[in-house]
Amino acid sequence: MDREKNNSLEKNIPVIPLRGVTVYPHTIMHFDVGREKSINALNTSLLNDEEILLVPQIEPSEENPKFKDLYDYGVVSGIKQTLKLPGGNTRVLVEGESRCKIIEFINKESYIEAKVQIIEEEEIKNPTEEMDVLKRILLKDVHEFVRNNPLITQEMVLPLMEIKDPITLSDTISSYLDLKPEDYYTLLKEEDIEKRLISLHEIFLKEIEYLKIEEEINKKVNFQINKSQREYFLKEQISAIREELGEDEEGSIVDSYIRKIKRLKLDKDSQKHLLKEAKKLETMSMGSPEINVVQSYLDEILSLPWNKASKESYDIKKAREVLDEDHYGLSDVKERVLEYIAVRKLTKGLKGPILCFVGPPGVGKTSIVKSIAKATNREFVSMRLGGVRDEAEIRGHRKTYIGAMPGKIIKLLEKAETKNPVFLLDEIDKLSSDFRGDPASALLEVLDPAQNDSFIDNYIEIPFDLSKVMFITTANSLNTIPDALLDRMEIIRIAGYTEFEKLNIAKRHLIPKQIVEHGLTDKQFSISDGSIRKIILNYTRESGVRNLERIISKAVRKSVVEIVENEKESIKIDGRNLEKYIGREKIIDDDIPKEDMVGVVNGLAWTSVGGEILTIEANIMSGSGKLRLTGMLGDVMKESAQAAVSYIRSNQEALGIKGEFYKDKDIHLHFPEGAVPKDGPSAGISITTALTSALSGKKVDHELAMTGEITLRGRVLPIGGVKEKVLAANRYGMKKVILPYANKKDLEDIPENVKKNIEIKFVETIDEVLELALNK
């Protein structure tokens, strides 16, 4: 061995215990010194211009190392530079000079000193073969190490190639390694250079292995990070695609509800309420009934048109076109509707009264409302209020209720898919109430512009804005509509149609509509005017055109069968074959007298189905002055009858009635068939006429109809529903109609062609009535 050593040199040197750093001879290194004893040692060396001894600590965490905590080998180093750092530390640059063996540690007052034996190592100029091999191995190790260590580049280790001396090489290489104290110690204490090189190789192998493991771990972690990033992007893309396709998004159900709820952009409180509901799902077990309740609730909420609306149009010209196209006649009604739309335009679609179309069935109320929807470019939905007794039908049931659902208002808005449809409330006069609450007051809330922007359905629980909905109502009569509701509404009456109007409605609308609905063409089906008239007069007797439409539809249906079955080209219906298609003429079995009779009077009534003839019969028989009423009765009718009896008694003589009928005769008044009149006391003059006729034996004109109430003194008072009543009289072929004088103003409502057919007599007293009715 060519190694030259000088063990004789002993020295006392101040000690800095090393932790976390390794310093070798032939290398320069800097580190920070902070511990008081180390700083004192450093200062002592500096003061004496001496070296410092760096001794590795066995346990780096030991703050205040004793002798036993220090290894017995160290490196004697020269201090090249010191720098005081803020915070009291001193950065020191040292150059390792030589290894040394520590003979003993000496406790100086403020630092540790060691008595050492310097291990002098001379440069090996001629290394052994063994050493050369080890050098090559070590250089390979370095290469491998660098490959696996991202912190060191090949350039950094290039100078190693130039180092010939195996000792210098070993120390320099060692300084690249961040060694544990025990490995560091091994390299320090090994005085045999060959053995030191082998130890270094072993340490290298271990370090390279560590690096590889570290690398592998890093790769795995990296892969995981990359993979999860990739997955994240893919998921985002999938959800974007799904959303585009309108499908549900991935992720937990709760997440998807939360996302959808947030997208509704509701007010804070509502959103909070819904998110709380959605979060409930997290804590519920799969398949539990509560899950269903919560999910149905959220699904219901999500399907409502919170922010969806049609683009409304208030184009009056277009509206007029739509109304004219869909409806014959009804010019005043159309004008009123256009005014209404114009006002909505000016008020930007806000507030305003609610339209209420009043009239008998089949006069086109619903169909006008549909046209309004079309003209204003809104969706159309309708709710029938007839027979609605339970408030819950309007406002829904609480969620806690089994099978709970929202009310019809919300359900229909869901159907409309927009929050601003035309919403028809049909038959508002048929609304009833009972122990289940008052639907009228719930409806009032719906219609009240002051509160309907935050309508709360019991099921939905959060407010829904109904203020953009255009509510329109219909009714057959106004009598049973609660006042509070009536106050909110603007009434538009549709009285009914004359025969002429019906004919035109049939030709222009009903027939073409039926032809299209049954898949025919104009050429395949036709019906003569005469046949239509016959249907109007002999098959239907109605104010509107509902039955007319039904019978026409029946005719078209039969024709379709015939065209298909018998391969006919077309069907023409006229007087000769009408019966074949629509059956025998319905003998309208009315009690309308066909000749003048005693005690039988054609009264006129205004009922929910329009104007009607109400035939009143009076019978006189021996008895004790009792008044009996049968048939359709109301209190008002009874009072009218009593008033009539009183009037006749006090005017008996003038009326030509003999004897004390109120003592020895019983009077029986019968009101055959027909709906209950809605307009209260309008049968007074008819009853009086019937009684007078019965008591006097004079016959009544059977082609005369009358309406009017009387006072006890015989004055005739005005009544309602003039147009409807006159149309009815015309329908039943009456020649004359008696009306109260005060109703003269209503004459202008009556179509000209009706006025031509029928003679209208206005009267002020019952005497005039009797004169016209009895004295033929």
User: Tokens 């179309």 sit at which residue?
Assistant: 357
Which segment (174-182, 358-366, 658-666, 703-711) binds ligand ADP by CB under 6 A? 358-366
Q: Does 101 bind ligand ADP (CB under 6 A)?
A: no
Least distance (Å) from ligand ADP to the CB of residue 336? 14
Residue 693 known to be catalytic: no
Reported as half-sphere exposure (CB side, CA atoms, 13 A), residue 696 has a value of 23
Comparing CB distances to ligand ADP, the nearer of 303 and 367 is 367
Q: Output 258 or 750, the one with its CB closest to ligand ADP.
A: 750
CA distance 727 to 493: 14
- Please give the residues from 471 up to 510 whose contact with ligand ADP meets the rule CB under 6 A: 474, 505, 509
Q: Is there binding between residue 751 and ligand ADP (CB under 6 A)?
A: no
Stretch that binds ligand ADP, among 42-50, 117-125, 540-548, 684-692 (CB under 6 A): 540-548
Taking the complex as a whole, the smallest distance from the CB of residue 466 to ligand ADP amounts, in Å, to 23
By CB under 6 A, tell whether 334 contacts ligand ADP.
no
Question: Which one of residues 56, 166, 329, 421 is an interface residue with ligand ADP (CB under 6 A)?
Answer: 329
Residue 496 falls in which region: left (phi positive, over 0), alpha (psi -120 to 50) or beta:
left
Out of 37, 99, 334, 365, the residue judged to bind ligand ADP by CB under 6 A: 365
Residue 547 makes contact with ligand ADP by CB under 6 A: no
The residue range among 325-333, 398-406, 477-485, 582-590 that interacts with ligand ADP, by the rule CB under 6 A, is 325-333
Site membership for ligand ADP, residue 385 (CB under 6 A): no
Single out the residue of 438, 450, 440, 530 nearest to residue 485, CA to CA: 440
Binding ligand ADP by CB under 6 A: which of 361, 439, 681, 714?
361
Q: Taking phi first (over 0 means left), then psi (-120 to 50 degrees means alpha), and beta for anything else, what does residue 342 get?
A: alpha
DSSP designation for 55 = E
Using CB under 6 A as the binding rule, whether residue 166 contacts ligand ADP is answered as: no
Stretch that binds ligand ADP, among 156-164, 359-367, 401-409, 716-724 (CB under 6 A): 359-367
What share of residues in the chain are helix, strand, coil (percent, to 5)? 45, 20, 35
Residue 80, Ramachandran bin (φ over 0: left; ψ between -120 and 50: alpha; else beta): alpha
Encoded one letter per residue, x for contact with ligand ADP by CB under 6 A and - for no contact, window 506-535 reads: ---x--------------------------
Secondary structure letter of residue 249 according to DSSP = P
Q: CB-wise, 451 or 547, nearer to ligand ADP?
A: 547
Which among 32, 24, 52 is positioned nearest to 176, based on CA atoms?
A: 24
Binding of residue 674 to ligand ADP (CB under 6 A): no
| 609 binding ligand ADP? (CB under 6 A) | no
Report if residue 545 touches ligand ADP, rule: CB under 6 A.
Answer: yes
Cβ nearer to ligand ADP, comparing 376 with 686: 376
Q: What is the DSSP letter of 533?
A: H
Q: Segment contacting ligand ADP (CB under 6 A): 151-159, 374-382, 538-546, 677-685?
A: 538-546
Among 154, 224, 367, 646, binds ligand ADP (CB under 6 A): 367
| Residue selected from 105, 185, 204, 328 as contacting ligand ADP according to rule CB under 6 A | 328
Catalytic residue among 334, 411, 419, 725: 725
Q: Least separation, in Å, of the C-beta of 374 and ligand ADP?
A: 12
Least separation in angstroms between residue 753's CB and ligand ADP is 16
Q: Residue 444 contacts by C-beta under 8 Å, 6 or more apart in sequence?
A: 484, 485, 488
Q: At what angle do helices 316-326 and 365-375 cross, to 10 degrees?
A: 150
Contacting residue, 364, 439, 681, 708, with ligand ADP by CB under 6 A: 364
Q: Of residues 546, 715, 736, 761, which one binds ligand ADP by CB under 6 A?
A: 546
Residue among 552, 546, 438, 536 at smallest CA distance from 485:
438
The active-site residue, picked from 77, 382, 543, 682, is: 682
| Min CB(251)–ligand ADP separation in Å | 49
Stretch that binds ligand ADP, among 157-165, 365-373, 393-401, 523-531 (CB under 6 A): 365-373
Residue 538 CB partners (closer than 8 Å, separation 6+):
585, 586, 588
- Rule CB under 6 A: is residue 147 a binding residue for ligand ADP? no
How far from 78 is each of 21, 39, 68, 188, 755, CA to CA, in Å?
A: 16, 15, 25, 17, 134
| Of 381, 410, 380, 382, residue with least CA distance to 394 | 410
Instruction: Choose among 118, 122, 171: nearest CA to 2.
Output: 122
Q: Does 699 participate in binding ligand ADP (rule CB under 6 A)?
A: no
What is the nearest approach in angstroms of ligand ADP to the Cβ of residue 523? 23
> What phi and psi, each to the nearest 5 degrees, are found at residue 327?
-135, 135
For 283, residues 6+ apart whose C-beta sits below 8 A from its C-beta are none
DSSP single-letter state for residue 508: I
Nearest residue to ligand ADP by CB is: 364
Q: Which CB sits closer to ligand ADP, 326 or 703?
A: 326
| Binding segment (CB under 6 A) for ligand ADP, from list 65-73, 161-169, 363-371, 383-391 | 363-371
Question: Beta partners for 100?
Answer: 74, 118
Closest approach of ligand ADP to the CB of residue 553, in Å: 10
d(CA 64, CA 626): 130
Query: What residues have CB less than 8 Å from 290, skipping those under 6 apart?
Result: 280, 284
Choose which of 549, 612, 679, 703 interacts with ligand ADP (CB under 6 A): 549
Active site annotation includes 725: yes
CA angle, 328 then 334 then 339, to 5°: 165
Question: Dihedral (C-alpha) 588, 589, 594, 599: value to the nearest 10 degrees?
Answer: -140
Whose Cβ is closer to ligand ADP: residue 547's or residue 757's?
A: 547
Cα–Cα distance, 528 to 582 (Å, whole number): 14
Answer yes or no whether residue 145 interacts with ligand ADP by CB under 6 A. Answer: no
Interface residue with ligand ADP, options 56, 65, 362, 421 (CB under 6 A): 362
Closest CA to 655 of 737, 769, 762: 769
Q: Which of 99, 135, 327, 334 binds ligand ADP (CB under 6 A)?
A: 327
**Residue 480 near residue 319, CB atoms below 8 Å:** no
Beta bridge partners of 57: 70
- Residues 33, 173, 363, 728: which binds ligand ADP (CB under 6 A)? 363
Count interface residues toward ligand ADP (CB under 6 A). 18
Which residues, in sequence order, are CB contacts of 403 under 8 Å at separation 6+? 397
> Using CB under 6 A, which of the segments 28-36, 360-368, 371-379, 383-391 binds ligand ADP?
360-368
Residues that bind ligand ADP (CB under 6 A): 327-330, 361-367, 474, 505, 509, 544-546, 549
Q: List active site positions.
A: 682, 725
